[in-house]
């Protein structure tokens, strides 16, 4: 059965480029929902369109800083219902109705848990009770009633109770961003904890690491987002680089870490015709070891991934190789011969642990800070060195957990997509 396409409205006081955690999360949610084929609109007072697929509907009265809203808030903070509160609520309700035309699902971010614009909260409450109302998801990042800095602004009764009375919102879905917030909200609303969905926030790896478009294409084509760990070997394909040992180490490592992967960034060396034969031998060894899909050579990535008309037969651009230093979990460098060893320095600056051949130039560079092995070492022993080192490293373990659970793509697939289709 085909997945239904939903018309979804995301509501908040403001949208990007206004800087804020909720604004950033809202924009990520909107993009992911649009990527998944849904028709998405954002309703906010301030902001600018941030994606050509996602219209921004601007309603000035839903702002937290509109003069009428600020005047009403000053009275409310003092415990008085302003004389024009009902009129303001009605004006917001009338503005929202056409903005929500055809919407199946309304997702309100923080506007039903904070007292920044209680007339907006009351307007949404009115709309939620109408017979043709869209389904409501109230997405709570922050809770005014459990936050000490808001306590003096809150008072018993209506409209403040809209922020803490489950009975005011029958049939809505409550979502929070952490287990801590779920405990708080369950206690505040006096509802079962398991009736509240937890959807954590995430990170966008490409934006955080400023990845090149070409790097993103390689990550997708090689499925590197699934690697745990990702080993980097930034060399040309020539026999002295001892790449066959890296392949055998990867095969042994995958017996302990089944999602381990390796990327070799360079093409075959250009000056020795025998390098073409060495490359073919490596590809054969990869297949013999069952590493297709785990050991990746940029030299064989086809044109359609890189926007070229032929296989990539030169070094990847420096910016792309630099991206791989930021993406990888460790440098493996099993060369039999080196004059210097620049990748060790690059790994050091990007804080990659270095596992390298114990040859004089690399020993001179790495000192006591690298992990060494013989170029003729048993692959299983080298795999053990890598696995033990990484498992003892809290930074690696945390990074692996974040990659596994907290990328926006993973959060959308695991949490948001099922929630939309409830």
Contact in structure between 139 and 107 (CB atoms under 8 Å) = yes
* Local structure of residue 228 (DSSP, 8 states): B
Contact in structure between 366 and 354 (CB atoms under 8 Å) = yes
At residue 312, the pLDDT reads: 44
* 26-81 pLDDT tens trace: 999 999 999 999 999 999 999 999 999 999 999 999 999 999 999 999 999 999 98
pLDDT band, residue 301 (cuts 50/70/90): confident
Give the predicted TM-score (pTM) of the model: 0.86
At residue 304, the pLDDT reads: 41
Work out whether strand 230-233 and strand 261-264 pair parallel, antiparallel, or are unpaired: parallel
Tell whether the model's pLDDT for residue 90 goes beyond 50.
yes
As a whole number of angstroms, the longest Cα–Cα distance in the chain is 87
Chain length of the chain: 422
Q: Average pLDDT of 19-31?
A: 96
pLDDT band, residue 303 (cuts 50/70/90): very low
SS3 179: helix
CA distances from 421 to 8, 402, 415 (A): 12, 25, 11
């Amino acid at each position: 059965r085909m997945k239904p396409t939903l018309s979804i409205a995301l509501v908040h006081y403001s949208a990007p480029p206004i800087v804020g955690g909720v604004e950033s999360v809202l924009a990520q949610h909107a993009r992911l929902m649009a990527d998944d084929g849904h028709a998405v609109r954002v309703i906010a007072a301030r902001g600018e369109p941030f994606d050509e697929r996602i219209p921004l509907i601007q309603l000035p009265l839903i702002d937290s800083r509109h003069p009428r809203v600020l005047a009403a808030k000053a009275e409310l903070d003092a415990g008085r219902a302003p004389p024009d509160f009902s009129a303001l609520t009605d004006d917001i309700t009338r503005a929202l109705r056409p903005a929500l035309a055809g919407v199946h699902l309304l997702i309100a971010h923080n506007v039903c848990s904070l007292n920044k614009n209680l007339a907006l909260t009351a307007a949404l409450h009115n709309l939620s009770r109408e017979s043709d109302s869209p389904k409501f998801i109230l997405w709570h990042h922050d809770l005014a009633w459990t936050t000490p800095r808001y306590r003096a602004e809150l008072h018993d009764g209506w409209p403040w109770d809209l922020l803490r009375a489950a009975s005011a919102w029958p049939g809505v879905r409550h979502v929070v961003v952490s287990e801590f917030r779920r405990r708080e909200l369950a206690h505040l609303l006096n509802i079962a904890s398991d009736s509240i969905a937890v959807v954590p926030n995430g990170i966008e790896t490409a934006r955080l690491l400023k990845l090149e478009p070409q790097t993103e294409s390689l990550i997708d084509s090689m499925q590197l987002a699934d690697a745990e760990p990702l080993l980097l070997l930034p060399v040309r394909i020539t026999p002295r680089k001892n790449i066959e040992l890296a392949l055998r180490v990867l095969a042994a490592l995958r017996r302990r870490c089944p999602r381990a992967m390796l990327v070799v960034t360079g093409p075959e060396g250009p000056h020795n015709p025998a390098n073409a034969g060495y490359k073919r031998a490596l590809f054969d060894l990869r297949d013999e070891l069952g590493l297709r899909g785990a050991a990746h050579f940029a030299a064989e990535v086809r044109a359609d991934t890189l926007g070229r008309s032929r296989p990539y037969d030169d070094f990847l651009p420096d910016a792309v190789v630099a991206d791989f230093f930021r993406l990888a979990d460790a440098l493996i460098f099993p060369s039999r011969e080196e004059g210097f060893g620049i990748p060790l320095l690059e790994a050091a600056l990007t804080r990659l642990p270095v596992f390298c051949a114990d040859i004089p130039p690399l020993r001179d560079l790495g000192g006591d800070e690298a992990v060494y092995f013989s170029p003729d070492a048993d692959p299983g022993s080298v795999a053990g060195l890598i696995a033990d080192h990484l498992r003892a490293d809290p930074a690696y373990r945390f990074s692996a957990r974040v990659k596994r659970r907290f990328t926006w793509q993973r959060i959308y697939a695991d949490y948001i997509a099922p929630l939309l289709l409830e």
